[in-house]
Amino acid sequence: MIFDEEFETMPRLALESLQLHRLQKQIANVYLKVPYYAAKMDAAGVHPSDIKTLGDVNRLPFTTKEDLRKNYPFGLFTVPMEEVVRIHASSGTTGQPTVVGYTKADIKMWAGLMARSLSAAGAHPNDIVHNAYGYGLFTGGLGAHYGAEELGATVIPISGGNTKKQIQIMRDFGSSVLLCTPSYALNMAEVMEDQGVDLKELKLRVGIFGAEPWSEAMRIEIEKKLGIKAIDIYGLSEVMGPGVAIECAEEQKGLHIMEDHFLAEIVDPDSFEPLPLGEKGELVFTTLTKEAFPVIRYRTKDFSRLITDECSCGRSFYRMEKVTGRSDDMMIIRGVNVFPSQIEEVLIGIDGVEPHYMIIVDRKGTLDTLEVQVEVSDNLFSDEIKNLEATTMLIQKEIKERLGVSCKASLVEPRTIQRSEGKAQRVIDKRKF
């Protein structure tokens, strides 16, 4: 179902004219209200009045996480604090957290976009939405919560963690839509299996998973293990939070970007030059309507490409290809770019290999080493050494063939790789640069 027919199916011409109008207004406002942005634009020799077409957006300077940190905590807000009704922040595992703010209108807009997303994924107002995204500074929990309420569904604000209780509530309350990270969904499926939960006891129908990149192979795994349709959702706190883009249940092929609120570009990750439509590069977003914390050409570090083909669901919004990696996650192993999701894709493709893995990167002398640890499931296990060694050799061979990098595959005991209750930690990089 299309929640917001007027905008979601708007003809491209009208949509682009709306985008331009909103962009011009946004840039003028930001220039006026935020000295930091004004100084950056002046330095780049561009004035808000130079934005005459949508294409002119590439004359504007980029915004990066660095800019956000320099203005920590509230330096890039465009409204006085009395108008800010909510603060969220990134976890800040790689440095100072990045802080974002919302006005009342921002929260309402976000709830609307999340309601659109839920609806696109196949949720209805009579659904029971099991929201296992973390509540707190992380945008996932509250973002999804307000959206589900806006849709008119019943929300269970269970947040992350305590998996056994999650499953009990799922069963007792009849949860029909699950929201969490894909890695946590797999963790839940595993605990259900242990407890001997029959999927028929559950009413789960749809899962909406995001906050970390996940592969197509992982989707198949989740859909099979939970007996649901698994939908990818995209968002980041700097731009808004979850609901920036969503897959439609009809196609599950690319995520429709809420283009009436966000202008997407793809740029070359090295030269930062704009790439032609359809080419793969780094996603860059400009918010068109946000009040408290607009961002101009924010570099997401996520890799994707835009799909401009018409979609059978009827939405006119362009789609972004499922994000398969972030430049943050990218490992350079002996000069080869490797994303954890590529390794995941290989592992899931091998019979009997469970999608619980850990990647360990180290450096011996001057040589990078890549180790992939995989848990030995009952399906994989054999009483003969040669069979187990054949499995590790197969993993090594497949990774070498598909990724062009040699690795050492190790088998570890079951349940020894840490299970995720939020964003999964898949990589340990021990190298010191």
Partner 1 sequence: MKVEQIAIFLENKSGRLADITSILAGHGINIRAMSLADTADFGILRIIVNDTDNAKQILRDNGFTVGTTEVLVVEVQDKPGGLAEVLQIIKDGDLNIEYMYAFTQKSGDTGLIIFRFDEIDDAVNVLMKAGVRLLSGEEVYSI
Site residues, partner 1 (CB under 8 A) = 376-378, 380-385, 388-389, 410-416
Query: Whole-number minimum distance, CB 413 to partner 1, in Å?
Result: 5
- End-to-end Cα, the chain, rounded Å: 50
Query: Whole-number minimum distance, CB 285 to partner 1, in Å?
Result: 44
Q: Which is nearer to partner 1, 270 or 383 (CB)?
A: 383
Q: Which residues contact 322 (CB under 8 A, 6 or more apart)?
A: 213, 216, 232, 247, 254, 255, 304
Query: Whole-number minimum distance, CB 373 to partner 1, in Å?
Result: 10
Query: Whole-number minimum distance, CB 392 to partner 1, in Å?
Result: 8
Query: Whole-number minimum distance, CB 361 to partner 1, in Å?
Result: 18
Classify burial at 94, counting beta carbons within 10 Å of its beta carbon; exposed 0-12, middle 13-18, buried 19 or more. exposed
Q: Which is nearer to partner 1, 227 or 352 (CB)?
A: 352
| Euclidean distance between CA atoms 404 and 20, whole angstroms | 43
Three-state secondary structure of the chain: CCCCHHHHCCCHHHHHHHHHHHHHHHHHHHHHHCHHHHHHHHHCCCCHHHCCCHHHHHHCCCECHHHHHHCCCCCCCCCCHHHEEEEEECCCCCCCCCEEEEEHHHHHHHHHHHHHHHHHHCCCCCCEEEECCCCCCCHHHHHHHHHHHHHCCEEECCCCCCHHHHHHHHHHHCCCEEEECHHHHHHHHHHHHHHCCCHHHCCCCEEEECCCCCCHHHHHHHHHHHCCEEEEEEEECCCCEEEEEEECCCCCCCEEECCCCEEEEEECCCCCCECCCCCCEEEEEEECCCCCCCCCCEEEEEEECEECCCCCCCCCCCEECCCCEECCCCEEECCEEECHHHHHHHHHCCCCCCCCEEEEEEEECCEEEEEEEEECCCCCCCCCHHHHHHHHHHHHHHHHHHHCCCCEEEEECCCCCCCCCCCCCCEEECCCC
Query: Whole-number minimum distance, CB 428 to partner 1, in Å?
Result: 17
Query: Whole-number minimum distance, CB 117 to partner 1, in Å?
Result: 38
- CA atoms within 13 A of residue 220's CA, in its CB half-sphere: 8
Q: Which is nearer to partner 1, 82 or 413 (CB)?
A: 413
Q: Which is nearer to partner 1, 50 or 389 (CB)?
A: 389
Query: Whole-number minimum distance, CB 381 to partner 1, in Å?
Result: 5
Q: Which is nearer to partner 1, 113 or 417 (CB)?
A: 417
Query: Whole-number minimum distance, CB 316 to partner 1, in Å?
Result: 51
Q: Which is nearer to partner 1, 169 or 411 (CB)?
A: 411
Q: Which is nearer to partner 1, 52 or 386 (CB)?
A: 386
| Euclidean distance between CA atoms 319 and 300, whole angstroms | 16
324 neighbors 339 (Cβ within 8 angstroms): yes
Q: Which is nearer to partner 1, 93 or 379 (CB)?
A: 379
Q: Which is nearer to partner 1, 172 or 378 (CB)?
A: 378
Q: Which is nearer to partner 1, 43 or 385 (CB)?
A: 385
Q: Which is nearer to partner 1, 260 or 375 (CB)?
A: 375
CB atoms within 10 A of CB 115: 23
Query: Whole-number minimum distance, CB 410 to partner 1, in Å?
Result: 6
Query: Whole-number minimum distance, CB 193 to partner 1, in Å?
Result: 13
